[in-house]
Amino acid sequence: MAVFHLPRHVSDVEALKQQAGIAACDFVKDGMKIGLGTGSTVRYTVLELGRRMQEEGLSVVGVPTSEATRELAESLNIPLVPLAEAGVLDLIIDGADEFDSDFALIKGGGGALTREKIVAQSSNAMVVVADDRKQVEILGDFDLPIEVLPFEWKRTADRVAEICPGPVVRRGGDEPFISDNGGYILDCSFGSTITNPSELESALLGIAGVVEVGLFVAICDAVVMAASGGVVTLVKQGGRLA
């Protein structure tokens, strides 16, 4: 998969995010139970769902993956339920920091990777919204987020560093970022080396203190991608939406 990215102004990038976020709503049908992801692109999806509910009579129930998304959905009067009450979801729409040709993802730039993966694994399908800057040949140029327990986090980080070829740093430094779960986030510089994300995910999850890894493998079924030429929907061959 050849990937070419041209530099863009901030306003252009934001417009692309908005296009992708809105287009992803076309996967949503009346009566669905929807996982509502986290991030700057999927924010436009939530806004559009709120608009369609108010102006077009769409009826859906949402399960948010972060407190920020919950607050946004509540402000739009989107009805929310806990995942335990919702059961299996019809769909989750979420963002991604990177995706490759196998539809493997790096997620967690917003720090919500654990909740995002729990909701994604409880959904019948996953749609990612992104602009084409997130499309890569090999994962890892974006630092891989890993959520860890605060207890002896440095020891956990040292063990992660035995696997990661580049720096492993706690997000926020001396004033650490705290996830919605009360955990820390390690940002791990693998570079474009993650050719077997499933194997790497398993290795990292085997480290005591690691809560979750921002690799999403065999979960994503489609990517709604905005590029300079317009919105393109990529559907995984053999996936749940094919």
Question: Which residue numbers are catalytic?
Answer: 116
User: What tokens were used for 124?
Assistant: 């019948």
Rounded distance between C-alpha atoms, residue 53 and residue 25, angstroms: 11
Q: How far, rounded to the nearest angstrom, does the alpha carbon of residue 165 sit from its chain's CA centroid?
A: 24
Q: Kindly give, in sequence order, each residue whose CB lies less than 8 Å from that of residue 59, ignoring residues fewer than 6 positions away.
A: 30, 31, 53
> What is the DSSP code string of the chain?
---------HHHHHHHHHHHHHHGGGG--TT-EEEE--STTHHHHHHHHHHHHHHH----EEEESSHHHHHHHHHTT--B--HHHH-SBSEEEEE-SEE-TT--EE--TTS-HHHHHHHHTTBS-EEEEEEGGGB-SSBTSSPEEEEE-STTHHHHHHHHHTT-SS-EEETTTTS----TTS-EEEEE---TTBS-HHHHHHHHHTSTTEEEESEE-S---EEEEEETTEEEEEE-TTSTT-
User: What tokens were used for 65?
Assistant: 């993956």
- In angstroms and rounded to an integer, the radius of gyration of the C-alpha atoms of the chain is 17
